[in-house]
């Protein structure tokens, strides 16, 4: 990948960084010269992605943590800071949207898990990483939201609600952290990641042809440019923004 956005020496922390959109962003930042901390629940997956990152000539730091558990977030941030000495970019990408048979069948445990990973975790991470960024002269926080936050989300109602909350704290944290730390959000549409392997692709393609101007789902690497822009100095006057990368779906 051509180095359009020079990131040499920057440290990027990506949650959910071992698969899907997080994996693509980890490699995208590494290709621009950034060192990457890769966080997800499974250490072996983080280590696999770390090897791919190192192959691009930069440093990687794999770490296993559940972002829905605040008692795991603080030690994780401390470990990344101890390893790299700084965090310049935080990408709150980790997410989950489990299936359920009906709205009345949603348990409190399922609801709490969805809110925990998609909203509670990013809130805490943004607060403590943002404080480190303010102390070191600035940084960029990028939340990965979903078009389910602004459109009806049948079969994913708790997820849509959590992502709507993520949109809201993007704007609030932009005020709270400015002017030193910029806080923005990528509102992602349907992407053909490993999760899409469980989809009925014939039905999805038919629906995409009717409802998405681009008439398809996105490829994982198609989110990378937006993340690089929001992390870079080219976005120096961009904060509190919610950028839709969804093929026009919403």
Cα 239 off chain centre by:
16
Domains, in order of start, for the chain: 11-245 (3.40.50.720)
Round to whole Å and give the CA distance between 115 and 112.
5
In whole angstroms, give the CA distance from residue 248 to residue 250.
6
For the record, the structure tokens of 69 come out as 């558990």
Instruction: Return the active site residues.
Output: 159
- Confidence band (pLDDT; 50, 70, 90) for 86? very high
Segment 108-136 shows an average pLDDT of 97
pLDDT at residue 203, as a whole number? 77
Q: What is the pLDDT of residue 196?
A: 58
pLDDT of residue 162: 97
Residue 84: per-residue pLDDT: 98
Residue 57 pLDDT level (bands cut at 50, 70, 90): very high
pLDDT at 152: 85
* Nearest C-alpha neighbor of 24 from the set 171, 159, 137, 192: 192
Please tell me the distance from the alpha carbon of residue 183 to that of residue 28, in angstroms, as a whole number: 20
What local confidence, expressed as pLDDT, does residue 4 receive?
80
């Amino acid at each position: 990948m051509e180095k359009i956005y020079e990131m040499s020496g920057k440290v990027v922390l990506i949650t959910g960084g071992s698969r899907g959109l997080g994996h693509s962003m980890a490699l995208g930042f590494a290709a621009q010269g950034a060192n990457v901390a890769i966080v997800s629940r499974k250490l072996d997956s983080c280590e696999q992605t770390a090897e791919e990152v190192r192959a691009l000539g930069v440093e990687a730091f794999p770490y296993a943590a559940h972002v829905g558990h605040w008692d795991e977030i603080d030690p994780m941030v401390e470990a990344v800071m101890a390893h790299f000495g700084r965090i310049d970019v935080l990408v709150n990408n980790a997410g989950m949207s489990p299936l359920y048979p009906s709205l009345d069948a949603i348990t409190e445990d399922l609801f709490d898990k969805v809110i925990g990973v998609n909203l509670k975790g990013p809130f805490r991470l943004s607060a403590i990483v943002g404080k480190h960024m303010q102390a070191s002269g600035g940084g960029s926080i990028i939340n990965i939201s979903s078009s389910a936050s602004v459109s009806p989300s049948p079969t994913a109602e708790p997820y849509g609600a959590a992502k709507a909350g993520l949109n809201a704290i993007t704007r609030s944290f932009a005020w709270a952290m400015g002017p030193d730390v910029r806080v923005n959000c990528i509102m992602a549409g349907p992407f053909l990641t490993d999760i899409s392997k469980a989809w009925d692709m014939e039905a999805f393609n038919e629906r995409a042809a009717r409802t998405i101007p681009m008439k398809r789902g996105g490829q994982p690497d198609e989110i990378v440019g937006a993340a690089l822009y929001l992390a870079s100095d080219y976005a120096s006057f961009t904060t509190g923004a919610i950028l839709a990368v969804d093929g026009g779906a919403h």
